[in-house]
Amino acid sequence: MRILDYLNETSILFLKETHKDQILTTMAKKAAESGYVSSEKAFVDAILERETIMSTGIGLQVAIPHAKMDGIKEFFVLAAVLEKDVPWDSLDKKPVRLVFMIGGPSDRQSDYLMILSKITLVIKNPERRKALMAAKTPQAVLDAFADL
């Protein structure tokens, strides 16, 4: 399993939004437009509900919002590079610049954990994380994940 099996040029966004809920809604809308989810509203609701349970801002200026739902057939990843720092209630109290949204079936926890671990490998690497934050093209984002 490679992260690039779930992340491609069309699933990478460069966003100017400055509020967490706007970013999550924009990304969920993209998931629906791309055919990853059948109900944009249900997915937005699931993502926002998950955020109220515990912030998905994991630190290092990264957030990984996620939802697993019965209506989703296959896992997908959307990536957003944010133009400005966005407050996120992150574990380290720092704002977020990178968002990786994961969606998938509710009955495939092991696949979810594999995707999460690959994203974590990249963001824990200072050089790759810096390259992601500076990315201006989808290909630059994909390059950070090329060997994973």
Within the chain, how many helices (H) and strands (E) appear?
5, 6
Residue pair 73/105 in contact (Cβ under 8 Å)? The answer is yes
pLDDT of residue 147: 83
Given a contact cutoff of 8 angstroms between Cβ atoms, the answer to whether 132 and 14 are in contact is: no
Tens-digit pLDDT profile for residues 71-102: 899 999 999 999 999 999 999 999 999 999 99
32/99 Cα distance (integer angstroms)? 17
Residue 11, domain extent: 3-144
CATH of the domain at 65: 3.40.930.10
Looking at the structure of the chain, the number of domains it has is 1
- Residue ranges of the chain with pLDDT lower than 50? none
Question: What is the model's pLDDT at position 148?
Answer: 72
